[in-house]
């Protein structure tokens, strides 16, 4: 018996989209990285119950440095209007630490959920990487949004 049919069933209930293009951050900078506006109603005939942002990347840090991530979802009624925060923000989370010595290109990954019934039509991620040290520390961050709990919408 193969697990193939189960995997295909799961794939029918999920969808992933790029939430934020890869961005780089250097030590001392704390700029928020705004994700791509995603239309939660624009996925064929399916609607989704929720989504999870998978925030990932890598960092190079000198000894004693840390990389923390602050993240949240935002929503809007239009992809061109201003976005406001929605859902529970991801509290400042230390994802990498160079307490034992310098780290080179170490990877990290964290997740942040959102229930879509609480949102307007358009959602996006907002991620802020924070490097504690100064100098040459750098990090990269990207985000994938995985939609889950697909339901077929009735024919019009």
pLDDT at 91 over 90: no
Query: Is 124 in a helix, a strand, or coil?
Result: strand
Of 1-5, 73-77, 92-96, 115-119, minimum mean pLDDT range:
1-5
Q: What is the dihedral of CA 111, 52, 125, 83, to 10 degrees?
A: -140
pLDDT band for position 156 (cuts 50, 70, 90):
low
Q: What is the pTM of this model?
A: 0.81
CB 38 within 8 A of CB 123: yes
pLDDT in tens, 60-78: 888 888 889 999 999 999 9
More confident residue, 54 or 41: 54
**What order of strands is seen across the sheet that includes strand 15-26?**
15-26, 138-148, 50-61, 103-115
pLDDT at 151 over 80: no
Q: Which domains does the chain have, with CATH numbers?
A: 15-150 (2.60.120)
Average pLDDT, the chain: 82
């Amino acid at each position: 018996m193969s697990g193939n049919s189960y995997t295909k069933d799961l794939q029918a209930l999920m969808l992933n989209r790029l939430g934020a293009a890869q961005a780089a951050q250097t030590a001392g900078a704390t700029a928020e990285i705004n994700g791509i506006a995603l239309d939660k109603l624009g996925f064929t005939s399916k609607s989704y119950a929720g989504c999870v942002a998978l925030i990932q990347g890598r960092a190079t840090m000198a000894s004693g440095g840390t990389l923390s991530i602050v993240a949240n979802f935002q929503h809007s009624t239009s992809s061109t209007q201003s976005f406001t925060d929605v859902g529970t923000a991801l509290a400042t989370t230390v994802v990498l630490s160079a307490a034992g010595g310098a780290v080179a290109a170490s990877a990290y990954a964290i997740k942040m959920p959102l229930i879509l019934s609480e949102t307007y039509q358009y959602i996006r991620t907002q991620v802020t990487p924070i490097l504690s040290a100064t100098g040459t520390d750098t990090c990269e961050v990207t985000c994938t949004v995985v939609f889950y709990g697909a339901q077929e919408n009735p024919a019009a």
